[in-house]
Amino acid sequence: MDRADHLAGHVNIVTKYLTSDLKDVGPALESAKMRKHFSMKVLEAQEEERKRLSREIHDGPAQMMANLVMQLGLVERVFNDKGMDAGLGQLSFTKELARSTLSEIRRIIYDLRPMVLDDFGLVPALSKYMEKMQDYHPDIRFTFESKGIMARIPQSTEVAVFRLVQEAVTNAIKHSGAKVIDVRIEICQNWIRATVTDDGKGFDPSKTGESSFGLQGMTERVALLKGEFDIRTEEGKGKGTEVILTLPHDQHATDKDAGGKSG
């Protein structure tokens, strides 16, 4: 009986241990499932981005270049058949077509990676980005404000903040129905804060929807950078949405990170 009682005590301890351990299994499995789902979404998003870029190049610069080649052939024929004046008139039209093609190629390059971000830093890059958004979406008013120190921060942090702001602005344009989108940047000695605010319809962050993958990606990226991510919004309240992200940075790593280009 003593041995049985002793064995029962051990069984009880093991049972409690397994029970408490199993309580963590559910959340762990759910987290693993979410991470797997997120990884699949990343791959899908990358493939979709390749398709989008392929279509954009095919329908834009590729078609324009084909038209330009045809136009140059036409210019040659006009020079031969109708003389100098007619040829120069046709050449002027061809020049405008070449300028439009170059502008379209530059737009695609900027969307992929704005060179101003590498050359001049985050604040000029975001300022230029907001100007371009204003050109693309004239029915929305875009504003940009920056404060704090103007020194360059590590390039990896600049790129991360730029992409996160870009994602937040894109979500606001696509889903909020906003008329005003504001971006504010504050750079301090050891951290940087970006705030994207819109006056749209708001949403419930707990609900999965078309924009949830973008939000999940932003959350994951901020977590990897050991930052903080906050969304203030309510569905149907008409008070808009405020996305706030704060990231630490090591300003001393700037020169090495930027390859000595800063300063």
The sign of the dihedral angle between the CA atoms of 73, 74, 76, 77 is: positive
Q: Domain check: are 244 and 134 in the same one?
A: yes
Contact 219/201 with Cβ under 8 angstroms? no
Pick from 112, 127, 151: which residue ends a domain?
112
Here the CATH number for the domain that contains residue 171 is 3.30.565.10
End position of a domain, from candidates 94, 112, 130: 112
Residues 93 and 151 in one domain: no
Range(s) of the domain holding residue 43: 1-112
Are 164 and 236 in the same domain?
yes
| pTM of the full structure | 0.61
Q: Is the pLDDT of residue 146 over 80?
A: yes
Q: Are residues 102 and 142 in the same domain?
A: no
Residue 78 in any domain: the answer is yes
Distance CA 193, CA 166 (A): 14
Are 231 and 191 contained in the same domain? yes
C-alpha 144: how far from chain center: 17
Digit-coded pLDDT (tens) for 199-254: 998 887 776 555 555 677 788 788 888 899 998 887 766 678 999 999 998 765 55
Which of 42, 61, 64 is closest to 53 using CA atoms? 61
The two tokens of residue 234 are: 């309510």
CA distance 168 to 44: 20
pLDDT digits (tens, 9 = 90+) for 92-144: 888 888 888 887 787 777 667 777 888 889 999 999 999 989 988 999 999 99
21 domain residue, yes or no: yes
Q: Is residue 215 part of a domain?
A: yes
Structural domain count, the chain: 2
- Which of 90, 112, 134 represents a domain boundary (last residue)? 112
**Could you tell me if 124 and 13 lie in one domain?**
no
As a whole number of angstroms, the distance between CA 155 and CA 161 comes to: 10
Identify the pLDDT of residue 236.
66
State whether 100 and 163 are in the same domain.
no
Examine the domain organization and report whether 134 and 252 are in the same domain: yes
CA 96, CA 3: separation in Å to the nearest integer?
97
**Domain contains 234:** yes
User: Distance between CA atoms of 141 and 139, rounded to whole angstroms?
Assistant: 7
Q: Is residue 263 part of a domain?
A: no
Residue 262 lies in a domain: no
Q: Do 15 and 133 belong to one domain?
A: no
Task: Say if residue 228 is in the same domain as residue 135.
Answer: yes
In DSSP terms, 196 is beta-bridged to 183, 243
